Amino acid sequence: MQAISRRSFMKSVSVGSIALTAGRLTAAPKPSGKHINVLFIAADDMNTDIGCYGDKQVKTPHIDRLAKMGVRFDRAYCQQPLCGPSRASVMTGLRPNTTGFVRLWDNLRKLRPNAVTLGQFFQKQGYYSARVGKIYHYNNPAAIGTDGHDDAPTWNERFNPAGIDKKQEDKIIRYPGGKTGRKGGLGISMAWWGPESKDTEHTDGMVASKAIELIDKHKDKPFFIAAGFFNPHCPYVAPKKYMDLYPLSEITMQNLDEAKKDLDDVPPMAVQRDTRNWPYFFKGVTHEEARKCKRAYYACISFVDAQVGRLLDALEKRDLMKNTMIVFWSDHGYFLGEKGLWYKRKNFERSVRAPMIVAGPGVKNAGKTCAQPVELLDMYPTLVDYTGHKVPGRLDGRSLRPLLNDPSAAWDKPAISQVFHGPKAQGYSIRTAKWRYTEWNGGAAGRELYDHRNDPDEVTNLASKPKYADIVKRLSKQLAPYCKQPQSKTRS
């Protein structure tokens, strides 16, 4: 892949993007009839181990309830399985290689000072735009209670609650070793805590409470309210009652001998951040400790689910369901020991696939599932479209209206994901209805091809097999236009 300077890159415009400045954003027509609100619900690091996604172990009655009200996208993919770039992509409707935002510490306004974010768009239409909790990147849990890496122009107001998960970090159990008694160092950790506590003593319970307060305060005018939950991001902290839903005896993990074999045919660059201390990312973490973390992760999903239920109840109580679009999403997927891996930042299905549910007025086929590959950045144009406004031509995403009207409708836009380990270690992945194909450094550092109709766990890499040469060639050509991204010399 040819290297280009960051300055040259930032002058370029990627595939599907037209104009990036606010000046090119034409005035949108007002929606007919009663205004349509938006409730934008985000989870952090939540994979698809959810009841409505077919998981029979994890208890999520309220997310399942939302899925019955709208359309569940079974194959929704983030554009980069890393919090900061993924969230910036969602909020701009632009790919990481359009904005140049590929690292956690990248700054959207420095890279694209005139970008019009989703919240800004709705402000221009006369909406009240507010955030509670995490929508853009935060160092979790270090930045809880602050604005983190938030984007101020996106919001009229923003709120940063902090609960005992932040204020009592010294009680969190850390692995390896199971020690407590210190603070810090939890942003990437194998750690958990299940205190005897009320939901509202925790940050996410406070997020739900404040979001409900804002809904009540602004219910008579158009609103775009974003409720950003910090769970189930590590450390995995939730009230004990949610931990009790998952007896440790029922938590299983893949056999490590089997897990190791799954990586035999994978290019080293694909897992270069994971192999030094494989398995479970940290040296010395035991199989039993990993099981306890998985249990706590599931408890955190159920904790978030309960807060989602509170938000849905608030809309119903105030008779707002009939004029509110509701979106539930997570910034990416998450490994929980599969292939011996943990966390995100990988181009495997487990890492880039995320939950996404859309419900609200005008959404047909309530309770249906869409199996077409879609992208998280499609949420921006979808919400603009369904609230009665003109979709800006500058976006990389596409309105999901055709699939919300008919989940089995034809859809020719593939889902593209990317991993940026550094200027000399990059991978791009394309997901079609049948295939996942990935190239590392343009193929020079390896390729991956998985047949998802026969190998949903991506165990067998078919890329080097002569039988699949034509498929590799076709998918590589289809992927090529998306493979331009900054090659700066800054640290990764």
pLDDT digits (tens, 9 = 90+) for 193-233: 999 999 999 999 999 999 999 999 999 999 999 999 999 99
Report the alpha-carbon distance of residue 468 to residue 447 in Å, rounded.
12
pLDDT band at 33 (very low <50, low <70, confident <90, very high): low
Q: 3-class SS at 240?
A: helix
- Helices 83-92 and 379-386 pack at an angle, to 10 degrees, of 30
pLDDT digits (tens, 9 = 90+) for 459-492: 999 999 999 999 999 999 999 999 975 533 333 3
Is the predicted pLDDT of residue 349 greater than 70, yes or no? Answer: yes
Cut 0.85: pTM above it? yes
What's the whole-number mean pLDDT along residues 416-435? 96
Give the pLDDT confidence score for residue 6 in this predicted structure.
36
Catalytic residues: 83, 137
Question: Looking at this protein, which amino acid is placed at residue 1?
Answer: M
What's the whole-number mean pLDDT along residues 131-159? 97
**Strand pairing category for 353-354 and 173-175:** unpaired
Is the predicted pLDDT of residue 400 greater than 90, yes or no? Answer: yes
Residue with tokens 């609200």, as numbered in its chain: 360
Asked if 346 and 271 touch (Cβ cutoff 8 Å), the reply is yes
Element (H, E) at 290: helix 287-317
Q: How many CA atoms lie less than 13 Å away from 264 in the CB half-sphere?
A: 10
What is 34-399's CATH number, 3.40.50.2000, 3.40.225.10, 3.40.720.10, 3.40.630.30? 3.40.720.10
Query: For the chain, percent helix, then strand, then coil, each to nearest 5?
Result: 35, 15, 50
Give the residue extent of every domain in the chain: 34-399
